[in-house]
Structure formats: C-alpha cells, structure tokens
Amino acid sequence: MNSTPHRATIYLEDARILGHESHPGEQRILKLEAPKCAQAARPGSFAHLQCDPLLPMRRPLSIMRVDPEAGWVEFLYKIIGYGTRLLARRRPGENLSLLGPIGRPFAVHADRPRAVLIGGGVGIPPMIFLANHLRRLPGFKPLAILGSEVPFPFIPRPSRILVPGMPDGIIAAMPLLEDWLIPSRLASLQGFPGCHDGYVTDLVVRWLDTLSPRELAEVELFACGPHPMLEAVARLARKYDLPAQVSLEEFMACGVGGCAGCTVAIETADGQAMKRVCVDGPVFDAATVAAFKPA
C-alpha cells in the first residue's frame, strides 16, 4: 500500500442538516449539505464535525454515502459520549461546520476483484461507501458481511442473492446492498432473525472455504469496526494469506495532521513508527498494525 499521507485539499463547509434520522440502539443517520466534501470524498474518507458550539473539539465521523451531484454527504453514528449526544440534538435546517473529506481512502486492486467488505457497528458506513464505489467498477464481485450488537440501522430482508458456504437460514441482507445487486449477510450475538449467531469473521471463513486456490488469490479484505473485530480480520488475513485493509479509529484533535494526537503504532521498513490516523490513515494495511501482530 502507498504510504504517502493524504495531501488533497480539505474543505471547511458550513453544512446544512438535511436529515437526521433516529434508529434503535441510539443510532442516528445524519445527512449534510456539503457539496465540496461530497465531490472530493472517497471510500474510507471521514469528516471532522463541530457537533455543537459548546464543545471545544470536533468529532470525526466516517462517510457512509455521498451524492456528488446533489451535494450531500451522509453519516451513521451511535451516541456514545457527550459530543455525539449534543450532535443528536441538532435539527434539520440547522448548520454545522464540516471539515473534510479527510484521510487516505481504501485502495482497490483490479487483480483482486473479490472484495470482502467487513463492517461492525459504526464501522459499517465506510463499507457502504466502498460497496457503492465497487459496484460501478467492471469485474468486481464484492461481498459484504456486516455485524451489529444493536438492531441494524436498516430493516434486514431475506436475500435473493446466493452466497456459497453460508449456514442454513442465514439469509438476512441489507436492502440497499441488495438493490445494488451486492450480496450481503449479517451477524450478531443478539439473535436477530436470519442473522448468524456469532461473529462476522465466522461467515467470512465459511465463504473463503468454498473458494478454489485460484479464486482465493483474487480476494482482498476490507474492514472497519471495533478493535477485536479488526484483530480477528488481521488474523484471518494471515491464515489465508490475504491482503487486508483496515480503517482505524483514535481520538483526534486537529484532524489534519498537525498535532500527532491520533497516532497508532505501524511497522514500517525502518522499524516501528507512530502514524497519524487522520492523514496517514485511517486506512492501513492490517499486516502493518503493531497491535494486530501475533503474540
């Protein structure tokens, strides 16, 4: 993977709230009018938002969908702290300041068209963005495996697309992806109907095990979600000798590479380095993330 930091222009936009939907499990879908960000965003990009004038800091949120023509960007977030709680109070018609798009996006490779998009919880958004990108690229055959421990922020429906290796009855899929003709399957420990009662990586393994060696060589993993999930993806990538790109999270201050507040330890050719999640990431090669190294 290319390791030069993100140097593209970042825009500061006074973004109007076009929509702010509530979903169970304290989840919200926020749609903002931000034409410059919508034009420039790529799968994996995030934006740094002023949640409320009362807060001294912004909050980074991954971009889920964009419409460059209509000029909007959409985010999915969960209320987990003071900042997101204040953000959740903001109403359509109000404005908030958006700084974005930020970050080095996912890199897709034509020789690995079998892209597996693994998203957990609020790690789902970048996978939706990536899926929307891949469906327009000829030859790509993406598969999405999504997990959540709160109800999914959409109403799952039985899939009409066959996915080899899935356990009996694991048929729930994300409607938007179905509409895009992208197969998806869902996992949760909460016993949601049609969803695998276990981890996303269980389903990925079942699917990988149906592939021939030639097919396996066409697979690339993409993941965003909680740390244990990403660690499991990194393990799986090692076991099957697959490339894996993971999108990481860390507390951020500036969001533009100025403070080195958001670093993670990354193995480089020159030894371990502290890389900034905001502009050196948020997407990293899983094999280089020091925290995912085998013990």
Partner 1 sequence: MNLSVVDKRLAVDFCGLELASPLVLLSGCVGFGEEYTRIEAFSNREVGAICLKGTTLAPRLGNPPHRVYETPCGMLNAIGLQNPGAHQVVNEILPQLDFSETRFIANVSGSTVEEYVEVARLFDDSPIDAIEINISCPNVKEGGVAFGNDPDMSARVVEACRAATNKPLITKLSPNQTDIAENARRCIEAGTDGFAVINTLMGMAIDVEQREPIIGNNQGGLSGPAIKPLAVLKTHQVYQVARPHGIPIIGQGGVASAQDALEFLIAGATAVGVGTALFYDPLIVGKINAGLAAYLDRHGLDHISHLTGSLMLHGATSACG
Ligand X SMILES: Cc1cc2nc3c(=O)[nH]c(=O)nc-3n(C[C@H](O)[C@H](O)[C@H](O)COP(=O)(O)O)c2cc1C
Q: Between 107 and 254, whose beta carbon lies closer to ligand FES?
A: 254
For every residue of 169-195, DSSP letters joined together read T--EE-HHHHHTT--EEEEESS--TTS
Q: Which range, of 24-32, 166-174, 231-239, 247-255, touches partner 1 by CB under 8 A?
A: 247-255
| Of residues 102 and 128, the one with the C-beta less far from ligand X | 102
Contacts (CB under 8 A) with partner 1, residues 173-232:
none
User: Among residues 189 and 259, whose Cβ is nearest to partner 1?
Assistant: 259
When CB distances are held under 5 to 8 angstroms depending on the partner's kind, the choice from ligand X, partner 1, ligand FES, none that residue 55 binds is partner 1
Question: CA–CA separation, 275 vs 266, rounded Å?
Answer: 6
Is 264 one of the binding residues for partner 1 (CB under 8 A)? yes
Three-state secondary structure call for residue 88: helix
Which range binds partner 1 by CB under 8 A, 17-25, 224-232, 250-258, 280-288? Answer: 250-258
Residue 83: which of partner 1, ligand FES, ligand X, none does it interact with, CB under 5 to 8 A by kind?
Answer: partner 1
Query: Closest distance between ligand FES and the C-beta of residue 282, in Å?
Result: 10
* Contact pattern from residue 260 through residue 289 relative to ligand X, giving x for each residue in contact according to CB under 6 A and a dash for the rest: -x----------------------------
Interaction pattern, residues 250-289, with ligand FES; x per rule: CB under 6 A: --xxxx-xxxxxx-------------x-x-----------
Distance CA 286, CA 50 (A): 30
DSSP state letter for 187? E
Whether residue 245 contacts residue 141, with contact meaning beta carbons closer than 8 Å, is answered with no
Q: How far apart are the first and last CA of the chain?
A: 24
**189, 217, 259, 290: which one binds ligand X (CB under 6 A):** 259
Pair 82, 31: CB distance under 8 Å: no
Binding characters for ligand X, 61-100, by CB under 6 A (x = yes):
----------------------------------------
Do 76 and 122 touch, CB atoms closer than 8 A? yes
Residue 178 and residue 181: Cα distance in Å, rounded? 5
Q: Residue 244, Cβ neighbours under 10 Å: how many? A: 25
CA of residue 244 relative to chain centroid, distance? 13
d(CA 230, CA 12): 31
| Cis ω before 282 (30° cut-off from 0) | yes
Q: Which of positions 46-75 make contact with partner 1 (CB under 8 A)?
A: 50, 55-58
DSSP E strands in 43-111: the ranges are 46-49, 59-67, 72-78, 95-102
Number of residues that bind ligand X (CB under 6 A): 3
Q: Which residues bind ligand FES (CB under 6 A)?
A: 252-255, 257-262, 276, 278
User: Site residues (CB under 8 A) for partner 1?
Assistant: 6-12, 36, 50, 55-58, 82-83, 97, 99, 250-265, 272-274, 279
